Amino acid sequence: MSWSSIYGHDQQKQFFQRIIKNQSQSHAYLFTGPARIGKKTLAFEIARVFNCTDPNEDGSCGLCRNCQLIIAGTHPDVQLLSPRDGKIIIKEIRDFIFRLGLQRTLGKYRIGIIESAELFSKEEIQNCLLKSIEEPPEKSVIILVTSQVHALLPTILSRCQRIHFQPLKKEDIKQYLQKNYEISDQKAQDIADQSHGSIGNALDLMDGNQPLVERAFFLWDWIFEGKEIFSLGPWFTENKEQIMNILSQLEWYLRDVLIYQMNGSKSSQYLTFINHIDRIQLDSTRLSSETICRLFRYMEQLEKDLRNNLNLDIAALHFVLQIREEMDRVPSGRN
């Protein structure tokens, strides 16, 4: 793995190249942006470069002992905290912090990466992590990865250097697919066109699965078009493991709607779902900014309910009823 083997995110890679060259790294970074676009992949390359014994202009060498152990996921000084059963509990955070403060074994730095940081279920957990961010152990770096930055406490946001990621370009996804899979040029292009800038969506399409964004729009249209909401139960059950990511897609879509409301046709370079510009334009005329803000709150409440282990059927029904009530106040039907 090296900088050149990571597709897209050129500005972010150049930023860290300068950081490493100048030895001016921060002790805490916050990677934000849509889900499944390569934020965690870049975080691990940073962990390798920081610890590589023979780095070069293209990043880590990939061959030294530190690089090999990080690639294998067994390096004693690099740890990844990922959610289990859709949540991160305080015991895991305390263990993460304890290990981050241990004496380095092989590497130059201890690197801690937290995936889906928005899944911290309580303020107690974030406050527990906050102390390590404010008073970091020597030669340690924490990287938080999230697609829902609003779920984090302002105190954490203010103490991390935020790095924002945009969806990948179609050409980057096409090149990734052609390098890693034996598929035709046309199939790679078709998948790239439908992936909405997400490597994860592209891999779903490779496996014959519906991309998360399409599932998000299915839910959105079902509620907006006035269909019978109680029949959504099986859909929520089927998508239980991906509900958080599906909601994240909807939140990014509504962000695009707000941006378009403010900037009109000048918004294209800032939109995540530019391929759905007709949909964005329509919803920007039907939804007020106040309505969109309330929709954000409903989604945030559903995410909170699920993180706190509220029954999925109850939480989902409450969410859908709130959205339906909101939608009843705006023009219905999609042309």
Nearest to 194 by CA among 179, 209, 178: 209
Structure token pair of residue 86: 């859709």
Q: Which H or E run contains 110?
A: strand 110-114
Give per-residue pLDDT as tens, 227-245: 888 888 889 988 888 888 8
The pLDDT of residue 122? 67
Please say whether the beta carbons of 41 and 16 come within 8 A: no
Which is more confidently placed, 130 or 328?
A: 130
Residue at which a domain ends, from 164, 179, 201: 164
Amino acid, res. 258:
L
Task: Give the three-class secondary structure for 114.
Answer: strand
- Same domain flag for 32 and 72: yes
Burial code of 58-67, b = ≥16 C-beta within 10 A, e = fewer? Answer: ebbbbebebb
The pLDDT of residue 231? 84
* Structural domain count, the chain: 3
Gap between the Cα atoms of 122 and 11, Å rounded? 33
Gap between the Cα atoms of 47 and 82, Å rounded? 16
Structure token pair of residue 176: 């990734």
Q: Cα–chain-centroid distance for residue 307?
A: 16
Task: Give the three-class secondary structure for 79.
Answer: strand
Would the pTM count as exceeding 0.85? Answer: no
Q: Cα–chain-centroid distance for residue 259?
A: 19
Would the CA dihedral through 152, 157, 159, 164 be positive or negative?
positive
The pLDDT of residue 332? 52
> Residue 177: inside a domain, yes or no?
yes
- Same domain flag for 146 and 176: no
**DSSP secondary structure code for residue 275 in this structure:** G
- Same domain flag for 160 and 174: no
Task: Report CA-CA distances (Å) from 241 to 89, 250, 274, 317.
Answer: 17, 16, 27, 17
Percentage of the chain surpassing pLDDT 90? 53
Through-space distance between the first and last CA atoms of the chain, rounded to whole angstroms: 47
Pairing of strands 140-146, 28-32: parallel
Gap between the Cα atoms of 97 and 128, Å rounded? 9
The pLDDT of residue 121? 62
> Residue 184: inside a domain, yes or no?
yes
The range of the structural domain enclosing residue 85 comes to 3-164
Quick one: average pLDDT of 46-68?
95
Structure token pair of residue 188: 């790679």
> Residue 246: inside a domain, yes or no?
yes
Here the CATH number for the domain that contains residue 74 is 3.40.50.300
Quick one: average pLDDT of 192-208?
87
The pLDDT of residue 333? 44
- Same domain flag for 77 and 219: no
Please say whether the beta carbons of 332 and 223 come within 8 A: no
The pLDDT of residue 334? 44
pLDDT tier at 335, thresholds 50, 70, 90: very low
> Residue 333: inside a domain, yes or no?
no
Quick one: average pLDDT of 75-97?
89
The pLDDT of residue 331? 60
- Same domain flag for 9 and 95: yes
> Residue 335: inside a domain, yes or no?
no
Give per-residue pLDDT as tens, 6-35: 999 999 999 999 998 898 899 999 999 988
Structure token pair of residue 138: 């020597």
Gap between the Cα atoms of 89 and 327, Å rounded? 35
- Same domain flag for 237 and 122: no
Name residue, tokens 């991906």: 242
- Same domain flag for 104 and 151: yes
Predicted confidence (pLDDT) at residue 67 exceeds the cutoff of 60: yes
- Same domain flag for 186 and 301: no
Name residue, tokens 């014959």: 208
Structure token pair of residue 69: 């152990």
**DSSP secondary structure code for residue 142 in this structure:** E
